[in-house]
Amino acid sequence: MRKYLFGTGLLSSITGGITLLRAARSDEPFTWRTALAWLSWAITFALAIGAVVDSYRAARGKLIDGDSSVDRDKLFRERVKRNG
């Protein structure tokens, strides 16, 4: 489970969110650029979570969406090799 939670996409998304939170605490007004930054962060976070879910499901041999970039067969072979 550790390899999913500490993936680079998820960590990047979390650090981006922390940066946005720090910027929100300043005295700057909320502008349309700030709204777009938050929207961009939300999309990035959702995609990172989706990649983690797809990797987890693919490693267990379950079906994943066709548009996923996860190589299901590779992850399943690694799991079979690990478990003997």
Domain count within the chain: 1
Sign of the torsion angle spanned by Cα atoms 40, 44, 45, 47 = positive
pLDDT at 3: 63
pLDDT, one tens digit per residue, over 8-31 is 788 888 899 999 999 888 888 889
Instruction: Specify the DSSP class assigned to residue 14.
Output: H
Structural domain that includes position 35: 2-83
> What does the pLDDT profile of the chain (84 residues) look like in tens digits?
566 666 778 888 889 999 999 988 888 888 999 899 999 999 999 988 888 887 777 777 666 666 666 666 676 677 677 766
Tokens of 80: 């079979």
Residue 51 Cα distances to 8, 22, 62, 81, 84, angstroms: 11, 26, 14, 22, 26
Taking the model in full, what pTM does it have? 0.70
